[in-house]
Amino acid sequence: MLDASAAELERPITPDAILCAVPTSDMALDIRDREAAATIARLEARLAEQAMALAHSAKIFERASALARIGVWECSLPDETLTWTGGVYDLFDIPRGTPIDRAQTLKSYSEESRLILDALRSQAIAERSGFQFDAEIITATGRRRWMRLTATVECEGDVPVRIFGMKQDITDEKILGDRMRYLAEFDVMTGLPNRSVFQTRLAAFDAGGGGTLLLVDLDGFKQINDTFGHALGDDCLKDASARLRTVCAEADLVARIGGDEFAVVLSASVDARACETLAETIVAALKWPVERGGRRLVLGASVGIARADACSASELFTRADTALYAAKAAGRNTFRTFVAPAQPAASGGSWQSDRDGLRRGTGPQTFHRIEPAPRLGSE
């Protein structure tokens, strides 16, 4: 019969027996290590997923920024160290990764934009706020661009530590906006301000301040337009507009307000004699023939003058229009100044007309010649 020791040796070894043979403290430590390793593996996997997602988001942001022509910038305070994303480098036509210096970058801004930027930036830092404005720059390759700059000041406690934001290329938007404004405010054919701009300026007379309005009407234009067509008529309008702009260079406004009618607004500092002298100059300048297509097209101009003496804007226009009709009734190629009742007549051909009489055809008629251009060497 085996003794107890021998019986123990003959007993089969089971997993439970192995666990019982391992000290409890070592077993617990091993379990904790395996759990920690599993946790670390899960966290690493999650970090890897987040890194991939972040890289994907960064890629999308980079593509979207490129499409929108947007870049992110940061400037640390107070050492003025700049950090740019690729979009800002592209905006300034500077190779990506090139070391950048704020003082050098500021030289890319136009003088006006640089002054605005300095003022807004100083105010934002002082007030711990932000700003936005459109700036004009000249890039490193000499291209002129417009960019929309946004900025926000970040503080630690109450101390500004950095200023950051976005810069977006808005050159195309700026060009389109300027074009739309131009079309809204200027006559495309002549390049002069249009009737809308004139009406705005005329309305300002209601606020007082004085001034003078001259209405200029081309004599003989309809005959040229009807005889030789709109192409030559348009050339005559362009030529007349250029001459008018030249002789009225000191005027507040020179505008085309109708087919062959123009308006000139003078400030209150221009006296009556100077206004009439200018009217004489306009008539003389527009008498010169326009030579096109081997033809000499003879135009002329009638001018009506009215001073803004205690009258409304609409009344001022009516007075200038009345004077214009009087100039036409006087034989055209001349000017007349409206003189209100109970006022002494201004010198140099002042007139107050009966417009209804002109409409009835009682005024004199005039005809304008269309002569061939002289040959070279002829008188």
Q: Which residues are known catalytic residues?
A: 260
Cα–Cα distance for residue pair 337/327, rounded to 1 Å: 9
- Cα separation, 237 vs 254, in Å, equals 14
Q: Is the peptide bond between 23 and the residue preceding it cis, with omega within 30 degrees of 0?
A: no
C-alpha to C-alpha distance for 90 and 325, rounded to whole angstroms:
61
- The DSSP code for 342 is T
CA 152/CA 162 separation, integer angstroms? 9
Buried-exposed string 302-311: b where 16+ CB fall within 10 A, e elsewhere? bbbbbbbeeb
User: Is-contact 262 256, C-beta < 8 A?
Assistant: yes
User: Where do we find the tokens 């021998």?
Assistant: 6
Q: Is 87 left (phi over 0), alpha (psi -120 to 50) or beta?
A: alpha
Residue type at 215 in one-letter notation: L
Task: Report the alpha-carbon distance of residue 52 to residue 348 in Å, rounded.
Answer: 87
* In 103-176, beta strands by DSSP E: 130-138, 144-156, 159-169
CA distance 360 to 226: 23
